[in-house]
Amino acid sequence: MAGTLYVVATPLGNLGDLSPRAAETLKRVVAVAAEDTRHTKPLLHYVGASSELISFHAHSSDGALRRILHLLGSGKDVALVTDAGTPTVSDPGATLVAAARARDYPVVTIPGPTAVAAALAVSGLPADRYVFLGFLPRKGGERRRLLQFTAESEWTVVLFEAPSRVVPLLLDLAQVCAPERQASVSRELTKVFEETRTGTLPELAGYYGAAPPRGEVTVVVSGVGPARPPEPPPDAEERARALLAQGMTRKDAADRLAEETGISRNTAYRLVNEL
C-alpha cells in the first residue's frame, strides 16, 4: 500500500499554536517536505521529531518531487509543511498534492493556522464571503488587472505582501479605489509584535510610509457591497400623463418620455398623441 501524504499546517509564529495532532504527525512520518528546511528544522526539534527533511520549494528540481513520490509509493508516510501556516496557500505545495493524487496516493489534511483567516478575523471587515488573491505581481498588466478587480470586488479581498512593498501596494490600491475604502494591515500575526491597523487606504499608506512595516504582512480590503438592482423604468403611459399635466408640449413630453423609459421616440410620440 502507498504511504499517506499529510498536509500539515504549522504555526504562523507562536509555537503554542501547533496542534497535538500536527506534532504527532511530524514525529511519526518518515520524511517532511519543507519549503525552507532551515525554518522547519527548529520546529521538528521543538516537537522531538527525527524525520528526514526534504527541501521542496518553487525552484526545486524534478528530482525532489520524484524522491517524495518514491517514498510514498514505497509505503512511507510523508508530511508537507510550509514556512508558516497552511501548505499550498501561496506556496508550491499544490504541485506535490496534485502529483500524489494523480497516483491515487492518500492525501490527508492536518488543519491549523492560516494568515488569511487570522487577518480576516481581526480586521473587522465582512468575512462571510471573501476573495483571496495572494501576492500580486510586482508590475505589469496583470498587476493592474488585479488592482482593478480589487477596486470593483463586491466582497472583501485578502492580499499577501512583503514588508518592503506594502506601501506601494497601498498607494496603488488607493489610486483605483474610492478614497473612503476601508482596509486593514496585519503583520507579525501571533508573534510578539503582532499589529493590525485599520483605516482608509490613504490613511494606511501614510502611516506605513512613515513607519515601514516589518515581518509578514496580510492586507484586507473591504468590498463595495452587492450591486443594487436597477430600478424598473416608469410606466410609460402613467409617466406621459404626468408630463402633460406639468404643462409640457406634446413634443417635449414625448422626448422626455423616450429618454426616461427607453422606448423609441416614435412610440413615445404615438403614446402622447393618443392620450
The Cα 51–Cα 22 span in angstroms is 13
Residue 250 has, within 13 A of its CA and on its CB side, a CA count of 10
Say if residue 138 is exposed, middle or buried (CB neighbours under 10 Å; 0-12, 13-18, 19+).
Answer: exposed
Partners of 184 in the β-ladder: 198, 220
The Cα 213–Cα 163 span in angstroms is 6
pLDDT of residue 60: 87
pLDDT digits (tens, 9 = 90+) for 237-264: 888 888 888 988 988 888 998 888 888 9
Q: Is the Cβ–Cβ distance between 188 and 195 less than 8 Å?
A: yes
- Mean pLDDT within 115-131: 97
DSSP three-state, residue 220: strand
Say if residue 264 is exposed, middle or buried (CB neighbours under 10 Å; 0-12, 13-18, 19+).
Answer: exposed
Indicate the DSSP class of residue 87: T
Q: What CA dihedral angle connects 237, 239, 242 and 248, to 10 degrees?
A: -100
DSSP three-state, residue 90: coil
Asked if pLDDT for residue 116 goes beyond 90, the answer is: yes
- Mean pLDDT within 180-188: 97
Residues 6 or more apart from 75 whose CB is under 8 A from it?
Answer: 1, 2, 3
pLDDT of residue 61: 86
pLDDT digits (tens, 9 = 90+) for 30-62: 999 999 999 999 999 999 999 999 999 988 889
Asked if pLDDT for residue 212 goes beyond 80, the answer is: yes
The Cα 19–Cα 30 span in angstroms is 19
Q: Is the Cβ–Cβ distance between 27 and 5 less than 8 Å?
A: no
pLDDT digits (tens, 9 = 90+) for 10-30: 999 999 999 999 999 999 999
> Using CA of residue 33, residue 47, residue 214, residue 135, what is the dihedral sign?
positive
DSSP three-state, residue 217: strand
Say if residue 40 is exposed, middle or buried (CB neighbours under 10 Å; 0-12, 13-18, 19+).
Answer: buried
Whole-Å CA distances, 77 to 71, 90, 94, 232: 7, 24, 17, 61
DSSP three-state, residue 59: coil
Whole-Å CA distances, 128 to 48, 85, 156, 218, 222: 39, 21, 9, 18, 12
Instruction: Work out the mean pLDDT of the chain and round it to a whole number.
Output: 94
Residues 6 or more apart from 63 whose CB is under 8 A from it?
Answer: none
Asked if pLDDT for residue 113 goes beyond 80, the answer is: yes
- Mean pLDDT within 132-157: 97
pTM: 0.80
